[in-house]
């Protein structure tokens, strides 16, 4: 088979963003994915994801401000201006102010200061004692009144699944070849003695490239020996179905975000589903590697649902902020079904910095992973930096930040993620959705 200049393994956020940027500068690129894009394995295969600016780290804050320019349709130097703007809503976010003694509180404060002082962003952030934010969101008047709420209008959501598809179609229009339904099982770098790298697929096909980029998210360790650097973390997601009337009531709400309990998205316009994620609880695979849990055999069906405790948490989040959705409409006793529950796997590094680097001992093989649950927002622009890495042009501070590094998992510190409860999936008591069967 004739070779490609760049073979990208994994068509999620990092993979698609890279494919687009490389193809825009005339590289001959192929993207190989285990599933049709958007893949059920992609952490970004969801109705929506938050596109926020708040980082207390200059690098990510700058990256987030740059990305927001594309989501908001203001910048067109990397992508056609409307490409992602059409799958974005600048809906704002209400965040619950955390206990001042917590790391998360310190993160929120310093992020806001950085954004305001260095980037002149998020200047209209205001605090309120009620969830309606002084009447701006009257449909939230049933929500609880004990928290302090911070409303930031400079935030939005990307329609995640749709945006992955858009990026794929755009990449195709630029000549990128897609080979889907054919996972890569091995990088055969040194087998044929040539300069090119070869990846072997489940189908037996062997694909040659001058450079190979492995961007398989939480599944990266199934292909590369990354156990010391990243681990797979499962986050919990569930949904509730709204009636037409409920959709009309809640369609213009902002994201409601409590970093120690969970968060709620505005309803999806097509399905009228509201997505709810839990915070401060996550799963890992306790079996595949004793000291560094890695979910090696990651397949969509391996986690059939979410833990019962996560379903209870989802109801708690609803009860606090959208109490009218706890029960089925028209009843006061029949709990509304929590549906389409899933564990969504991300690849964590110990400090949440990405790894975008050449794999030690494997020249021309690059890995882009360690998204740590915050990389979706960079779909428009992370590919630019991955291309710079491939061309040896990545500015030194970024190259250093995203390089291979030993992780100290005993002292792991993702300061913006409140994470006291971790559950091995082997010990999970699965929540069975009351309609249909759990997805076993
Ligand atoms: C519940 C949840 C909420 C999140 N919320 C946000 C948010 O609000 N904002 C935000 O910015 N980020 C958010 N994220 C994080 C974001 O989704 C991830 O950072 C992002 O998807 C990571 O991109 P990736 O390319 O590394 O991996 P993924 O998007 O997971 O893509 C990996 C791809 O690799 C493919 N693959 C895997 N194995 C193979 C193989 N062997 N061969 C070929 N292909 C393979 C998969 O099929 C998949 O397409 C969230 C994540 C989760 C789970």
Per-residue pLDDT of 283-297, as tens digits, reads 988 776 544 444 445
pLDDT value of position 440: 33
| Distance between CA atoms of residues 50 and 33, nearest Å | 25
Minimum mean pLDDT range among 38-42, 121-125, 318-322, 404-408? 404-408
Does the beta carbon of 373 lie inside 6 Å of ligand 1? yes
Which one, of 41, 93, 435, 46, lies nearest residue 275 by Cα? 46
Question: 413 lies in a domain?
Answer: no
pLDDT value of position 62: 98
Minimum mean pLDDT range among 55-69, 300-314, 378-392? 300-314
Does the beta carbon of 11 lie inside 6 Å of ligand 1? yes
The domain that contains 303 carries what CATH number?
A: 3.50.50.60
pLDDT value of position 438: 41
| Distance between CA atoms of residues 90 and 94, nearest Å | 13
Residue located via tokens 């980082």:
55
Structural domains in the chain (count): 1
Per-residue pLDDT of 185-200, as tens digits, reads 999 865 555 678 999 9
Residue located via tokens 């998205």:
265
Does the beta carbon of 341 lie inside 6 Å of ligand 1? no
Centroid of ligand 1 to alpha carbon of 216 (angstroms) = 8
State the average pLDDT over residues 415-426.
77
Q: What is the mean pLDDT of the chain?
A: 91
For residue 3, what are the contacts with CB-CB under 8 A and spacing of at least 6? 196, 208, 209, 210
State the average pLDDT over residues 316-344.
92
- Provide the domain limits for residue 269: 4-402
Which one, of 167, 165, 161, 159, lies nearest residue 24 by Cα? 167
Instruction: pLDDT band for 426, please (50, 70, 90 cuts).
Output: confident
Question: 279 lies in a domain?
Answer: yes
Strands 262-264 and 255-258: antiparallel
Centroid of ligand 1 to alpha carbon of 117 (angstroms) = 32
pLDDT value of position 302: 67
pLDDT value of position 393: 98
Instruction: pLDDT band for 437, please (50, 70, 90 cuts).
Output: very low
Q: Which ligand 1 atom minimizes the distance to the CA of 50? A: 8
- Mapping DSSP onto H, E and C, the string for the chain reads CCCEEEEEECCCHHHHHHHHHHHHCCCCEEEECCCCCCCCCCCCCCCEEEECCCCCCHHHHHHHHHHHHHHCCCCCCCCCHHHHHCCEECCCEEEECCCCCCHHHHHHHHHHHHHHHHHCCCCCCEEECCCCCCCCCHHHCCCCCCCCEEEECCCEEEEHHHHHHHHHHHHHHCCCEEECCCCEEEECCCCCCCCCEEEEECCCCEEEEEEEEECCHHHHHHCCCCCCCCEEEEEEEEEEECCHHHHHHHCCCCEEEECCCEEECCCCCCCCEEEEEECCEEEECCCCCCCCCCCCCCCHHHCCCCEHHHHHHHHHHHHHHCHHHCECCCCCCCECCCEEEEEEEEEECCCCCCEEEECCCCCCEEEEECCCCCCHHHCCCHHHHHHHHHCCCCCHHHHHHCCCCCCCHHHCCCCCCCCCEEEEHHHCCECCCCCCCCCC
Beta carbons of 381 and 63 less than 8 angstroms apart = yes
pLDDT value of position 406: 80
Does the beta carbon of 310 lie inside 6 Å of ligand 1? no
Centroid of ligand 1 to alpha carbon of 139 (angstroms) = 33
Centroid of ligand 1 to alpha carbon of 315 (angstroms) = 25
Per-residue pLDDT of 5-22, as tens digits, reads 999 999 999 999 999 999
- Rounded (10°) CA dihedral 127, 131, 137, 138: -130
Question: 114 lies in a domain?
Answer: yes
State the average pLDDT over residues 105-121.
97
Residue 220 bridge partners (DSSP): none
∠ CA(101), CA(152), CA(250), 5° rounding?
Answer: 110
* Beta carbons within 10 angstroms of residue 104's beta carbon: 18
Q: For residue 294, give both structure tokens.
A: 């890695």
State the average pLDDT over residues 59-66.
98
Question: 250 lies in a domain?
Answer: yes
Per-residue pLDDT of 139-177, as tens digits, reads 999 998 789 999 999 999 999 999 999 999 999 999 999
Cis peptide before 38 (omega within 30 of 0): yes
Does the beta carbon of 223 lie inside 6 Å of ligand 1? yes
Question: 415 lies in a domain?
Answer: no
Does the beta carbon of 217 lie inside 6 Å of ligand 1? yes
The residue that leads in pLDDT, 190 or 388, is 388
Instruction: pLDDT band for 2, please (50, 70, 90 cuts).
Output: low
State the average pLDDT over residues 289-311.
68
| Distance between CA atoms of residues 291 and 81, nearest Å | 46
């Amino acid at each position: 088979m004739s070779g490609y200049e760049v073979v990208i393994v994994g068509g999620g956020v990092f993979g698609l963003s890279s494919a687009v940027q490389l193809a825009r500068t005339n590289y001959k690129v192929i993207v190989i994915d285990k599933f049709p894009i958007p893949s059920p394995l992609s952490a970004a295969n969801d109705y929506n994801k938050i596109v926020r600016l708040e980082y207390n780290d200059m690098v990510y804050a700058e990256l987030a401000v740059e990305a927001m320019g594309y989501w908001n349709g203001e910048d067109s130097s990397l992508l056609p201006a409307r490409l992602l703007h059409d799958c974005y809503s600048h809906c704002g976010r209400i965040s619950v102010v955390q206990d001042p003694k917590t790391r998360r509180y310190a993160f929120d404060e310093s992020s806001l200061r950085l954004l305001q002082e260095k980037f002149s962003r998020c200047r209209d952030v205001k605090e309120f004692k009620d969830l309606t934010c002084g009447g701006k969101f009257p449909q939230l008047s049933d929500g609880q009144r004990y928290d302090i709420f911070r409303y930031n209008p400079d935030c939005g959501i990307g329609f995640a699944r749709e945006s992955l598809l858009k990026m794929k179609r755009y990449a195709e229009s630029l000549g990128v070849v897609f080979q889907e339904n054919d996972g890569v099982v091995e990088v055969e770098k040194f087998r044929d003695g040539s300069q090119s790298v070869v990846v072997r697929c489940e189908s037996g096909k062997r694909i040659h490239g001058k450079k190979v980029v492995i961007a398989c998210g939480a599944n990266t360790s199934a292909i590369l020996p990354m156990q010391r650097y990243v681990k797979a973390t499962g986050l919990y997601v569930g949904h509730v179905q709204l009636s037409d009337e409920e959709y009309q009531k809640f369609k213009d709400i902002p994201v409601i975000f409590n970093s120690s309990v969970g968060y709620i998205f505005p309803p999806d316009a097509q399905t009228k589903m509201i997505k709810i994620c839990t915070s401060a609880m996550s799963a890992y695979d306790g079996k595949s590697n004793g000291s560094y849990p890695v979910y090696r055999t990651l397949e969509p069906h391996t986690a059939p649902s979410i833990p019962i405790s996560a379903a209870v948490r989802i109801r708690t989040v609803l009860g606090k902020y959208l109490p009218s959705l706890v029960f089925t409409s028209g009843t006061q006793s029949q709990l509304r079904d929590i549906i389409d529950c899933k564990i969504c796997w991300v690849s964590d590094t110990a400090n949440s910095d990405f790894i975008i680097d050449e794999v030690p001992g494997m020249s021309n093989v690059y890995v882009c992973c360690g998204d740590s649950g915050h990389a979706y927002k960079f779909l428009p622009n992370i590919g630019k930096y991955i291309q710079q890495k491939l061309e040896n042009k990545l500015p030194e501070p970024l190259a250093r930040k995203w390089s291979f590094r030993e992780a100290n998992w005993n002292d792991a510190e993702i300061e913006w993620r409140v994470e006291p409860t971790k559950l091995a999936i082997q010990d999970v008591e699965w929540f069975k959705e009351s309609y249909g069967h759990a997805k076993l």
